Structure 1
Amino acid sequence: MYSFFWRLLPGPWPVKLIITLIIAVAVFFLLMEVVFPWVSAMMPYNDVSV
């Protein structure tokens, strides 16, 4: 699967590496800023009563 994405990217391998790193960082920040806070609000551990 990863070889398919690697072949899909344009340019020589240094350019592919830079594009891959940019995509990985973008996915990381998307998860941290959007997905994880949304999922955290739906988790049952927020309903704590003592």
Structure 2
Amino acid sequence: MSAPLDYTFSINGVLLWLAVVVVLSAVASFLPAWNASRLTVREVLAYE
């Protein structure tokens, strides 16, 4: 049972997933950075 598996990727599908991944990763990194930028030095050092 060594039948070859033929599959192709649509360039539109690849670009769509790339755009989704880039947007999600940008949001996932922007929100914590935004929250951290609103902290004062005293609040940051309180976690040490």
Structure 1 residue ranges (4+ consecutive) displaced by more than 4 angstroms after TM superposition: none
TM-score scaled by length of structure 2: 0.53
Q: How high is the sequence identity, in percent, across the aligned residues?
A: 6
Q: Structure 2 stretches of 5 or more lacking a match?
A: 1-9, 41-48
Aligned residue pairs: how many?
A: 31
Q: Structure 1 stretches of 5 or more lacking a match?
A: 1-10, 43-50
Q: Name the structure where helix makes up a greater proportion of residues.
A: 1
TM-score scaled by length of structure 1: 0.51
Whose relative contact order is higher, 1 or 2, with alpha carbons under 8 Å and at least 6 apart?
1
